[in-house]
Structures are given as structure tokens and as C-alpha cells.
Amino acid sequence: MPNDFAQLPLPDAAPATLALQALGQTPQANRWRTEAMRSHATPRLIFFARGQGRITVAGLTSGYGPNNLIFIPARTMYGFEIGAAVFGQILTLPAAMAAEWPDTPVHLRLRDVAGQKELLALIEGLERELQSSRPHSRRAAHYHAGLLSVFFARQIALQSIDPALARQQTSAAKLVAAYTGLIERDFRSDHGVADYASELGVTPTHLTRCCRQTCGQSALGLLADRRHFEACTMLRDTKTPVQDIASQTGFQSAAYFSRAFQARAGVSPTTFRRAGPQVRSR
């Protein structure tokens, strides 16, 4: 299938700027924005202040709780549960700052009270500058983000080995991480699980077995989840025609896409789009 859509503008194509967004109770209709697998062109730092749930990063699922910091590198697939008791923040980092952060996912559990207080002070300072109208506030916000990266690096150095880090080093986790990387690269094509398994040098059965071991989903489920998030984003945030969304998310026909989307979302693509905010054409 020709990759004719590779040069089309995509929802995440615009350069990301430094931004801090609250994470709180999410309406059921918008759960796809956090729970479905997605990635971004620039890194994200997630801070869970309270509540607990599960987060999947690069195909590895683990639990999170209060005072957890999770770094997501650019183009890394992730998704997380967010229940009624969960509150936190997600920091969008511009590409120019990516070198100051790790190049692999990191999950920190801050158990030290002093560290928790230091983190809160850094986040509050960053948020204050981002919301300020004072001269040079954006510059000050970037310096706060730089201090946050130093704090993060120090916490990595101080932390003992977390069980999640050991799990990342298993052969199953490494295989699934590689698989999610291939999905992120090629999910807009019509590649199926067998194609990805072949590129990884394993059988589809073995790949699915490893996916279920690391995140409780099948290999097909991970691929379908990534495509579904992209479809939802394009339906809600652009006016791209449904038939074009189908081709840009790996479906060979608009009819097949509509059936698959309705089976997953419970409504047709058109109905899902109508339920969202009005958007400008892209």
C-alpha cells in the first residue's frame, strides 16, 4: 500500500511549547484521551499527586500511586487509567529541552518527604511563571523546567532499583518495547501483527504471548489501540474526511474502518465527531 499520506499535516506535527496541564477526573466520553495508546513528538513528564491506577509505557504495565513521576520520551507509546480519586499534572517539554532528560522511560516513586516538597516547589514555580504576564516569564519558566530536569536526574541517582526497572530488562519487555517502537513508526501503514513479528524475528504467537505477559493485551490489541487513538484525535481535532482518516490509520477501506471504530467506541466515526468541539479545517 503506497504511503501517500506521509506528507499530510498531522495533529501532533506542530512544534510543542512548554506547557503544564492538570490531570483530574476525566468524563467517561473522553477517557480515550488518557487510556488509549498514544505518543507525542516531544517528551512528557507525568506527576501523580494522589490516587492510584495503572500506566502502560512502551508495552509494559505497572501500577502508579501518589508522588509518582513518570517520564515519557518522544515517540514512546503510553496510556494510563485515571479514576475519580486521581489528580496530577502532565508537563509538555519542547524538543529543544529533550537532551536534558533520559532517552528511555523512567518511573520514579518519591518516598522521601523532603523530595516530595522539593518537587512541589519546583512545579509551583514553573506553573506560576507559565501563568504570569510579567516580562520574561516564559524564559523563567524554561529555567524552572531545567531545574526540574536536574531534580529528576538526582532522584534517579538516589533511588534504589525499582522492580519496574528490573522488569524493563527482561527479554519479553525488550521485545514488546521494540514492537511498540515499530507500531509508532508504521501504524499508518497496513502492516499487521505478522509483518511486525517477522521484522522482529519472532512468530506472531510468541509476540502476543510476550505482550500479554508485559501489559495484559495481545499484539493486535496494542496495534488497534494506537490506531484508535489517532482516529479519535483526528475526528475530534481536525476536519479530515473519514475516508482519509481510514487510510491514514492503516485501514484499507472506509467501511472497514467504520465497522472497527464502532465496535470499539460504540458509535460511528461520524457520531463520535459530532459529539466533540467544533474545530477549524486543517
> What is residue 12's DSSP assignment?
T
CATH number at residue 260: 1.10.10.60
Q: Please check whether residue 75 lies inside any domain of the structure.
A: yes
Q: Which residues contact 215 (CB under 8 A, 6 or more apart)?
A: 56, 59, 60, 61, 176, 222
- pLDDT confidence of residue 281: 35
Last residue of a domain, one of 137, 163, 189: 163
Q: Are residues 143 and 210 in the same domain?
A: no
Range of the domain at 91: 19-163
CA angle 258, 38, 111 (to 5 degrees): 145
Cα-only R_g, the chain: 19
Last residue of a domain, one of 129, 163, 197: 163
For residue 80, list its beta bridge partners.
55
Q: Which residue has the cell 492510584?
A: 52
CATH number at residue 81: 2.60.120.280
For residue 89, list its beta bridge partners.
22, 47
- pLDDT confidence of residue 164: 62
- pLDDT confidence of residue 125: 97
61 exposed, middle or buried (CB, 10 Å; 0-12, 13-18, 19+)? middle
Q: Are residues 33 and 150 in the same domain?
A: yes
- pLDDT confidence of residue 3: 33
Q: Please check whether residue 4 lies inside any domain of the structure.
A: no
Q: Are residues 157 and 34 in the same domain?
A: yes
> In whole angstroms, what separates CA 52 from the centre of its chain?
18
Q: Please check whether residue 2 lies inside any domain of the structure.
A: no
Mean of per-residue pLDDT scores for the chain: 89
Q: Are residues 141 and 185 in the same domain?
A: no
- Give the number of domains in the chain: 2
Q: Are residues 127 and 208 in the same domain?
A: no
Q: Please check whether residue 181 lies inside any domain of the structure.
A: yes
> What is residue 71's DSSP assignment?
E
pLDDT one-digit tens code per residue, 114-123: 999 999 999 9
Q: Are residues 62 and 146 in the same domain?
A: yes
CB of 69 closer than 8 Å to CB of 22: no
- pLDDT confidence of residue 163: 61
pLDDT one-digit tens code per residue, 223-246: 999 999 999 999 999 999 999 999
Q: Please check whether residue 8 lies inside any domain of the structure.
A: no
Q: Are residues 66 and 110 in the same domain?
A: yes
Q: Are residues 150 and 72 in the same domain?
A: yes
Q: Which residues contact 11 (CB under 8 A, 6 or more apart)?
A: 233, 234, 237, 238, 282
Last residue of a domain, one of 142, 163, 184: 163
- pLDDT confidence of residue 282: 33
pTM of the shown model: 0.84
Q: What is the mean pLDDT of residues 63-79?
A: 96
Neighbours of 238 (CB within 10 A): 18
Q: Are residues 71 and 179 in the same domain?
A: no
Task: Kindly indicate the confidence band of residue 6, based on its pLDDT and cuts at 50, 70 and 90.
Answer: very low
Q: Are residues 68 and 128 in the same domain?
A: yes
Q: Which residue has the cell 529543544?
A: 96
Task: Kindly indicate the confidence band of residue 15, based on its pLDDT and cuts at 50, 70 and 90.
Answer: low
Q: Does residue 276 register a pLDDT over 90? A: no
Q: Are residues 202 and 93 in the same domain?
A: no
Q: Please check whether residue 237 lies inside any domain of the structure.
A: yes
Q: Please check whether residue 57 lies inside any domain of the structure.
A: yes
pLDDT one-digit tens code per residue, 125-176: 999 999 999 999 999 999 999 999 999 999 999 876 566 667 788 999 999 9
Q: What is the mean pLDDT of residues 198-209?
A: 98
Among 28-32, 105-109, 183-187, 209-213, the least confident range: 28-32
Q: Are residues 117 and 134 in the same domain?
A: yes
Q: Please check whether residue 280 lies inside any domain of the structure.
A: no
